[in-house]
Structure 1
C-alpha cells in the first residue's frame, strides 16, 4: 500500500517541532511544580496597579484604628476636644514647646479638635498642607502656639471636611463651649485628685456634660489631658465609650501648678 502523502508530511512536521523545542536541561526539571520554579520565571516589567480607595475603606479604618494619607475627609462620627494640662503635658514631652516656657502660666490649653469614629479615628487626610496666613490667624489665642496649630491641622483638621479657616473657627467654638472648673483656673499650688474627682469637677462646671462623655488622660501619675466628646455640629456633648475606656486608671494623680 502507498502511504498517504499528507499524513506523512504531518508526521514529519511533528517530529521537526519536537526536535526544535526539546531541551535536555529542562527534562531534568520535570519535578518542578508550583512556586518551586518561581526563580526561573522572567522578571515582571510592570508593577501591579495601586489599589483604589473605596468607600469600604472607612470600615477598614475603623477596625485598624487609623487612616492612611489620602483618606476621604468628613467621614467621621464625632469630635474629641483634647485639652492639655500644660504642666503635665510639658513633663511628658520634655518641655520642648512654646507652651512649656517658664513664666507663661499655662493651665488647660487646646491640644486639638479630633475627628473620631466610634472605633478608631482618621488622620492625615487629603487637604492643603500649609494653611494661609489668614487661616492661621484664626488659631491665635486658641492654640498655645502656631506650630501646634499647624501640626493639628495637618494630622486632624484635614479629616474634618472643612477649610483651614473653618476648622480653626470650629476649634474656637469647641473651646468656648467648655467651662474650666474653678480648681484648675490659675491654681497657685500643686494638687492631688482622683480621675473621677476631675471628671466631677467638669460635670459641675458644665451642666450638659454627663458621665460617659469625657475621659481623663494621665502619664507618670500626673494629669496630662482631658478629652471631651462633642457632636459633629459642636452643639452637644455626646457619649463616646471607646474614648472613656482608654481613660486614666490611676487611683490618684498629681496636678502640678502652672509655672
Structure 2
C-alpha cells in the first residue's frame, strides 16, 4: 500500500508539473515587433554595428513575442530547450540582414537570437519549434514592408518630424490593421519613431487586429531619423 501511495503521489506531481508547462506555453497572440535602426542608435546609449557590417537602412526584426489579452506575457518557458545555432543554419544569412543585432559590443547576432528564443520562443514551442519560430518571423517581415509603406505615404527617414497619426494611418491603410507605435528619445530629447508592433495569430502566420496595443510614449509629432 505504501508503494502504491508513493506511486500515486509521483503521478500527481508529474501531472501537475506537465500542466504547469502547458499553461506556461498558452498564449493569445503574438506581437511582431520591428525596430528602426536609426532610432536605436540615435540615443545617449548609442549602438554597435554587427561584426558582419552596418545593416541596411531598413526596419529590422526585434522579435515575435507571445502575449496575453490582459497585457501580460509568458517568458522563459522551457529552460530545457536552449538555443541551438545548428537548427537555423539555413536561415543565418537572411537573419543577419533582416534581424540584425545593434547591441554593444559588436556580435554576429547569435546572442540576440538566443535571447529571443529563450525568453519568447520557448513559450510558443508547442506550436513552433526553433526553426519554425525564426522562419515565421522572417516570413512576416516579407509580408509587410514597413519602410516602403511609410515612404509611399511621404514619410521618410530624413530626420524630419511627422505626425503620429499620419504614421499610424499609413500602416493601417496598407495592412488593414492598426499598429502599435513605440518611441524613444534621441540625444537632443526628441521623441522619435523606434518600434512598430503588429499582431499575429497563434500560428505565427496571419496578421490580426490587436487585442491590445502597447503604450508607446510618443509625442503627437515624432522624428524619423536617418540611418
Partner residue in 1 for 2:9: none
Q: Following TM superposition, by how much is the alpha carbon of 1:129 offset from its aligned partner in structure 2, in angstroms?
A: 1.4
Alignment partner, residue 177 of structure 2: 210
93 and 233 in structure 1: CA distance in 2 versus 1, 3 angstrom threshold: farther
**Structure 2 match to 1:79:** 30
2:157 corresponds to 1:199: no
Query: Secondary structure at 2:180's aligned position in 1?
Result: strand
Gaps of 5+ in 2: 1-12, 101-108, 186-190
The match for 1:114 is: 65
Runs of 4+ in 1 over 4 A off after TM superposition: 52-55, 70-73, 99-103, 184-188
Of residues 217, 220, 224 in structure 2, which corresponds to 1:251?
220
2-structure distance, mates of 1:187, 1:100: 27
- Aligned pairs for 1:93-242 (under 5 A) are 94-98=45-49, 103-119=54-70, 120-126=72-78, 127-142=80-95, 143-144=99-100, 145-161=109-125, 162-182=128-148, 183-184=150-151, 187=156, 189-206=158-175, 209-211=176-178, 214-220=179-185, 221-242=191-212
The TM-score with structure 2 as length reference comes to: 0.71
CA change 1:234–1:104 in 2 (3 A) is closer
Larger relative contact order (C-alpha < 8 A, sep ≥ 6)? 2
Q: How much has 1:171 moved relative to structure 2? A: 1.3
Distance in 1 (CA, whole Å) between partners of 2:52 and 2:132 is 29
Aligned residues, how many? 190
- Work out the CA distance in 2 between the residues paired with 1:116 and 1:154: 15
Other structure's SS at 1:112 match: strand
Larger Rg: 1
Unaligned runs of 5+ in 1: 1-48, 58-69
Q: 1:218-253 CA distances to partner (integer Å, 9 max, x unpaired)?
A: 012111100100111244322224324x13441111
Find the aligned partners of 2:147 and 2:57 in 1 and give their Cα distance: 15
